Amino acid sequence: MGWPCRSELWGQTLEEARADYAAVANAIAAFEPVTMIVDPRIDPAGPRCALAAGIEILELPLDDSWLRDCGPIYTLADGERRAVHFGFNAWGGKFAP
């Protein structure tokens, strides 16, 4: 998952979004491992306080919390997890990377 980081995307609801992302991550973490990508420009104490102890925080440059559009995609092939190359074009170039 990607921690909400851009106030220009979330506006006045940024803290609410962060609380909601934490709630979803914590619910998932009760059943399977969760990694939260956090932009290094954000104080990691904020996400760490909101997330369950077992959730891994990985600091990577990030400008969007919607990882379906900007994150890696994995598949299982021959019983192994593999990354898949996917060139997302932001809905035909509607949004700049």
Chain segment 38-62, per-residue pLDDT in tens:
999 888 788 999 999 999 998 988 8
Question: What pLDDT does residue 50 have?
Answer: 96
Q: What global pTM score does this model have?
A: 0.76
Q: Could you write out the DSSP letters of every residue in 33-97?
A: --EEEE-TTS-THHHHHHS-TT-EEEE---S-S-HHHHS-EEEEETTEEEEE-----HHHHTS--
Q: Which residues, 6 or more positions from 26, have their beta carbon under 8 angstroms from its beta carbon?
A: 51, 52, 55
Question: What pLDDT does residue 53 have?
Answer: 94
Provide the residue type at 37 as one letter.
I
Q: Is there a contact between 93 and 72 (Cβ–Cβ < 8 Å)?
A: no
